[in-house]
Structure 1
Amino acid sequence: MPRDQHTVTRKYISSNALKVLYRLDKGGFDAYLVGGGVRDMLLGIEPKDFDIATNATPEEIKGLFRNCRLIGRRFRLAHIVFGREIIEVATFRGHHENDGTQKACQKTSKQSDHGMLLRDNIYGSINEDAERRDFTINALYYSARDFKIYDFANGVKDIEQRSIRLIGDPETRYREDPVRMLRAIRFATKLDMKISKETSAPILPLGELLSHIPPARMFEEFLKLFISGKAKANFDMLRDYNLLKHLFPIVEQVLNQKETPQMIELIELSLNNTDKRINNNQRVTPAFLLAALLWYPLQQRIVALKHSTDLTPQDAFFNALGEIMGEQQRSIAIPKRFQAPMKDIWILQDKLARREGKRAYKCLEHPKFRAGYDFLLIRGEIEGGDAQELASWWTEFQHADSDKQQILLKSLPSSRSGARRSVRKRRKPKKTVTPQ
């Protein structure tokens, strides 16, 4: 597509991405802006991703840029670092059968028993690279040399028809990388498109392949699905395709039991609030959403432990916490930096209910008070009753002056303090005389 037939313009391309394109071109290599950046500009969306594809090898790229670092084992990539912005540059990928000897192929490419690509460092031409890309709408290449768009898979047509379509045989492509099932859903919700019939058909029967994806990679996919402004739509589509169980097996299990009807309401409200904040350019943390997703499974496990053991409430909580997090980590590896605030949010639900004396002031000083309070607000909206009254009390207390706070504290039921006063002193045990 020549320059006068498309809407891609350098005006919307990162200046750092242009620097990379120009330097590769000056070094005698072919270089193209590829994928999401081109796709979004054709859709009239301001681009955020500026990935580049080239016929230069990773080592040749590194030789051109002092600010380059090579990453990746599954497929070698070059990251050109410009402060906080990183431009990702990939060498054109080739087909496995074109790699020469079997010995050489084993060094550069490896597949699992399920057909998943474990190592994929085979380089080829731009035509081969286009065939190796996942979706047609991502196989679009923009050249800063002649300002043309090169469309190898009818991606422009699919953009016009708003269709998500895999390149090649869908079952084979999903087996190569099962995460493509999650990407299909994410692109459909993000771009307001529909997954084509042939692309969606294998998802249900092949969903189990996601269980072979490393938990650390699944966490990255969780962020893309749920911290992007389309969390509610992605959640619904994951359930439609029966894929949620591969990200949150405990959540799906409890939802199917239908013993906690408030659970889906809490999750949906949390998802909607997260989307609203992101779309209003407000800060969000994955910890809050994860705490909401796992709240009712945690409560269910605590109740079960209380009925089956003699554990104290505190011990039951921490035992349940360990079990729930241990099970969840097998699907999604939640980093410790998010596990700690999740635990704080959950612990604060109990602390916020204990307001006597100085406890209320200590709660206000807690570093995660706001997150715990926000979580209580959502619970109050869903559960009503005591949770709603407690949330209203804390809303008033935190904004009141000191005199008003004292009035609010004195208005609390005195059953707890009264109970303490009524406790009698323990009698000393009688001395027993041991017969000689």
Structure 2
Amino acid sequence: MLRPVAATPLMHGTATITPQAALRIIPRDQHPISRKDISPNALRVLYRLRDAGFAGYLVGGAVRDLLVGGHPKDFDVATDATPEQVKQLFRNCRLIGRRFRLAHVVFGREIIEVATFRANIDDGSGDREQHEGGRLLRDNVYGTIEDDAVRRDFSANALYYAIEDFSVRDYVGGFEDVQARSMKLIGDPEQRYREDPVRMLRAVRLAAKLGFGIDPATAAPIAGLAPLLAEAAPARLFEEILKLFLSGHAVASFEGLERFGLVQVLFPETAAALASNRSGALRRMLIQGLQGTDQRVANDEPVSPAFLFALLLWPAYCRALIGLQAQGVHVEEAQRRAADRVTLHQLSTVALPRRFSLPMQEIWLLQSRFSSRQRKRVMRLLAHPRFRAAFDFLVLRLAASPDHAEDVAFWQQAQTQSGEELAAALGVAVPGDSYADEDAPPSKRRRRRRRRSGAASASE
């Protein structure tokens, strides 16, 4: 059933775009969404809104994911009730946001986000502000469901599930786009990206997550507009990077960023290092690390942001380290300076909190200590709180160079040995002997040829 509806124009500076909005109702017997797959708390919110005389719909990613057989973790609701009216209905509600005012209805650990239908006009109230370049600074002008649909980013996210008849409401062709597995922006792509440059990252992330393609018209402006991401708040970019790489689709996300020239904006020094690494060893390591990240997410195992950023910025660190050593800087000093330099430069783009940047640097700096076979140093490294993460990182480096195989084998075994077994393996007397460890005279110490330490081998 098709019924034309009026659409409020999307205003972008002097340009006006009016997407064609027509309501299509997909009845229950023509879509797979069942209430048993919807959060009971989201259903409670929908029913209470309805009982209070308000319109309420499940909207966005949850509807999209349910249509393709997914299992959404977050359930958002759109309504004609204002945030203040929602708060009056739910004692467990709090209002958040200035740029985009929302109601959060809290059920223990689950939060149902309730948004009022937004319009795409400036009504003069000051509740809608736009940067000269088109970026939205504030968006709190309320409208109809038709207004709300055309102002959403992607057509696949502009689908509404109605509780009264269990139908799906589609105003912008999103149902067909989901069936075609295509991410398509609503309105003019270039102007929508200028309105919010982070939509470029969302396009890549959602396509990777869902296995969708990106509509050609939606994809075309990305490479040219990628520098606009530098205008986004660094803290927001940090959160978007976590979504890109910690949602179980890290490899596909990275490949999407590469394809559209976004790596150069998010990780400029990493992009430069990968481009100059002719053997491709650094990229192989990075991809293998991201594959491991995806596997851990699939196994419901934690992934540390510190380890993730250590991986993503490792090519930049290697390049900086090699450059400093070529200038004659002592290896240990070069390692510290390279770690600080890469971290500082990255902070200009992405707000990496110290609770992650410091462990990231430790993972890098510990790499040179894996070549040591002196007993005290071995024992200290085994006891280091960052040992396991650093060792896992060393294992990853095998993807870049087989030179680390001996170190990996030694430390793999060292973790299972007793103190006496480890001392014997190192060729020193066990603790308690008169000539144990580094205190032994030269004649009693087994001399080993030491490899030059350094965080990055030449092959990497």
Aligned residue among 99, 117, 127 for 1:74 = 99
Q: Which has the higher helix share?
A: 1
TM-score by length of 2: 0.85
Matching of residue 157 in structure 1 with residue 157 in structure 2 = no
TM-score by length of 1: 0.89
Aligned residue among 36, 43, 50 for 2:68 = 43
Matching of residue 93 in structure 1 with residue 118 in structure 2 = yes
Aligned residue among 407, 423, 426 for 1:390 = 407
1:251 match: 270
Provide closer, same or farther for how the CA distance between residues 162 and 380 of structure 1 changes in structure 2, counting only shifts above 3 A. closer
Give the alignment of 1:289-308 within 5 angstroms: 289-308=308-327
Q: Give the % identical residues.
A: 48
Matching of residue 327 in structure 1 with residue 345 in structure 2 = yes
Preserved CA contact (<8 Å) 2:288 2:399 = no
Preserved CA contact (<8 Å) 2:64 2:157 = yes
Indicate the larger mover: 291-300 or 243-252.
Answer: 291-300
Q: 3-state SS of the aligned residue for 2:332?
A: helix
1:371 match: 389
Aligned residue among 122, 125, 132 for 1:113 = 132
Alignment partners' CA distance in 2, 1:420 and 1:232: 52
Please list every run of 5 or more consecutive structure 1 residues that lacks an aligned counterpart in the other structure: 423-436
- Residue identity in the other structure for 2:40: S
Give the alignment of 1:171-186 within 5 angstroms: 171-186=190-205
Alignment partners' CA distance in 1, 2:98 and 2:332: 44
1:431 match: none
- Structure 1 residue 313 displacement after superposition: 3.5
Give the alignment of 1:46-57 within 5 angstroms: 46-57=71-82
- Structure 1 residue 260 displacement after superposition: 6.8
Provide closer, same or farther for how the CA distance between residues 93 and 420 of structure 1 changes in structure 2, counting only shifts above 3 A. farther
Give the alignment of 1:182-261 within 5 angstroms: 182-258=201-277, 261=280
Matching of residue 12 in structure 1 with residue 37 in structure 2 = yes
- Residue identity in the other structure for 1:304: G
Provide closer, same or farther for how the CA distance between residues 141 and 11 of structure 1 changes in structure 2, counting only shifts above 3 A. same
- Deviation by residue 1:95-114 (Cα, 9 ceiling, x = unmatched): 214x2x3xx2xx21111221
Preserved CA contact (<8 Å) 1:69 1:80 = yes
- Structure 1 residue 418 displacement after superposition: 11
- Structure 1 residue 50 displacement after superposition: 0.4
Preserved CA contact (<8 Å) 1:260 1:296 = no
Provide closer, same or farther for how the CA distance between residues 2 and 381 of structure 1 changes in structure 2, counting only shifts above 3 A. closer
1:63 match: 88
Aligned residue among 141, 145, 150 for 1:126 = 145
Provide closer, same or farther for how the CA distance between residues 239 and 420 of structure 1 changes in structure 2, counting only shifts above 3 A. farther
1:428 match: none
Indicate the larger mover: 186-195 or 298-307.
Answer: 298-307
Alignment partners' CA distance in 1, 2:438 and 2:320: 30
Alignment partners' CA distance in 1, 2:221 and 2:207: 16
Alignment partners' CA distance in 2, 1:25 and 1:355: 70
Q: 3-state SS of the aligned residue for 1:400?
A: coil
- Structure 1 residue 420 displacement after superposition: 9.5
Provide closer, same or farther for how the CA distance between residues 64 and 394 of structure 1 changes in structure 2, counting only shifts above 3 A. same
Q: 3-state SS of the aligned residue for 2:406?
A: helix
Provide closer, same or farther for how the CA distance between residues 216 and 398 of structure 1 changes in structure 2, counting only shifts above 3 A. same
- Structure 1 residue 421 displacement after superposition: 5.4
Alignment partners' CA distance in 2, 1:328 and 1:42: 39
Aligned residue among 366, 370, 379 for 1:348 = 366
Preserved CA contact (<8 Å) 1:136 1:154 = yes
- Deviation by residue 1:53-97 (Cα, 9 ceiling, x = unmatched): 111111211222222222222211111122211111111010214
Alignment partners' CA distance in 2, 1:136 and 1:295: 37
Matched residues, number = 411
Provide closer, same or farther for how the CA distance between residues 66 and 299 of structure 1 changes in structure 2, counting only shifts above 3 A. same
Q: 3-state SS of the aligned residue for 1:118?
A: strand
2:55 match: 30
- Structure 1 residue 42 displacement after superposition: 1.1
Alignment partners' CA distance in 1, 2:442 and 2:140: 74
Preserved CA contact (<8 Å) 1:288 1:342 = yes
- Deviation by residue 1:206-227 (Cα, 9 ceiling, x = unmatched): 1121111111100111011111
